[in-house]
A = this chain, B = another copy of it.
Amino acid sequence: MFQNSVVEVELNNLLPASTAIPEKVHHAIRWSIFAGGKRFRPALVIATGETFGAPIEALIKTACAFEMIHTYSLIHDDLPSMDDDDLRRGRPTCHIRFGEATAILAGDALQTLAFRTIAEDEQLEIATRIALISELARAAGTPEGMVAGQGLDMEAEARAVNARELEEIHRRKTGALIVAATRSGAIIGRATDAELKAVTDYASHLGLLFQITDDLLDVTASAEDLGKTPGKDVESRKATYPALYGIEETREAAAKAHRTACESLDRIDRPTTVLREIADFILNRTG
């Protein structure tokens, strides 16, 4: 759905060539980046930026930076000592294909490249680049961002988690980057403070919706649709929305998150059709 050939072309330009040494690390980076990802975070950067009138040239590199951070997190989360996943998007995970050491380095390098890409984006004023790097770093790091979420998620595997804790985990683990991607598009598009607040609210609920539907898919989808082994959450007794609330109530929570996300957009006097379509797509996604 979100695939955008401009993003694919730019990622290809930004990544080191497979022929550059160390070849194995660069192969691993490209293997993971070009693994059929949905490009959800780049789509959010671009859709939000275009909502506020920014040209694609000013958005594309930041969009790619978010995909790099996301991909680095997938590579590291899949490692044996973390979630121990052999399969992602229907293909062997990075460490299965290239070995653990190379997978760790590929993730490390992608994180570095994300920050470098924004720092060196000459389409953006330097003040904008600094704002974006700060936004991305806060969302990716700890204690408020993605790494903190993964840390909490792992601590939670050992014990029962309540609803509030589950939301705290997901707000950091997946929500923070989704919110930051959306805000980054708005920052590049020079949104007003009120507009930035509105898209932040939109993205918070979208992030929640994303996680809820992710949990639902683990229960209901086939392995073919999912590209990974379904039922894994149940098997690992992982805290999920269906485990806490049951499937029906979880579906209602998804509908509510979708509704609230879209209502946040009502506060913006801009063409928000694409952002609404993204929310619709996440609500109805099958993989």
Chain A residues with CB under 8 Å of chain B are: 16, 20-22, 24-26, 29, 72, 76, 79, 81-82, 99-102, 104-105, 107-109, 111-113, 115-116, 119-120, 126-127, 129-130, 133-134, 137-138, 140-143, 145, 147-148, 150-152, 154-155
Residues of B within 8 A of A107 (CB): 108
Residues of B within 8 A of A120 (CB): 134
**B137–A112 CB distance below 8 A:** yes
Q: Closest approach, in angstroms, between the C-beta of A269 and any C-beta of chain B?
A: 31
Would you give 29 A-B contacts (Cβ < 8 Å), ordered by A? Answer: A16-B142, A21-B148, A22-B142, A22-B148, A22-B154, A24-B155, A26-B142, A76-B108, A79-B100, A79-B101, A79-B104, A81-B104, A82-B101, A82-B104, A105-B142, A107-B108, A109-B142, A109-B148, A111-B112, A112-B140, A112-B147, A115-B137, A116-B133, A116-B137, A116-B141, A119-B130, A120-B134, A126-B127, A129-B130
Q: Closest approach, in angstroms, between the C-beta of A253 and any C-beta of chain B?
A: 24
The answer to whether residues A148 and B25 also contact, given A81-B99, A119-B130, A130-B130 and a CB cut-off of 8 A, is: yes
Q: Closest approach, in angstroms, between the C-beta of A33 and any C-beta of chain B?
A: 13
| Residue among B26, B81, B147 making CB contact with A100, cutoff 8 Å | B81
**A151–B81 CB distance below 8 A:** no
**B81–A112 CB distance below 8 A:** no
Residues of B within 8 A of A16 (CB): 142-143
Q: Closest approach, in angstroms, between the C-beta of A27 and any C-beta of chain B?
A: 11
Residues of B within 8 A of A148 (CB): 21-22, 25, 109
Residues of B within 8 A of A25 (CB): 142, 147-148, 151
Residues of B within 8 A of A138 (CB): 116
**A111–B113 CB distance below 8 A:** no
A120 to chain B: closest residue by CB: B134
A79 to chain B: closest residue by CB: B104
CA distance A255 to B140 in the complex (A): 44
| Residue among B20, B116, B152 making CB contact with A143, cutoff 8 Å | B20
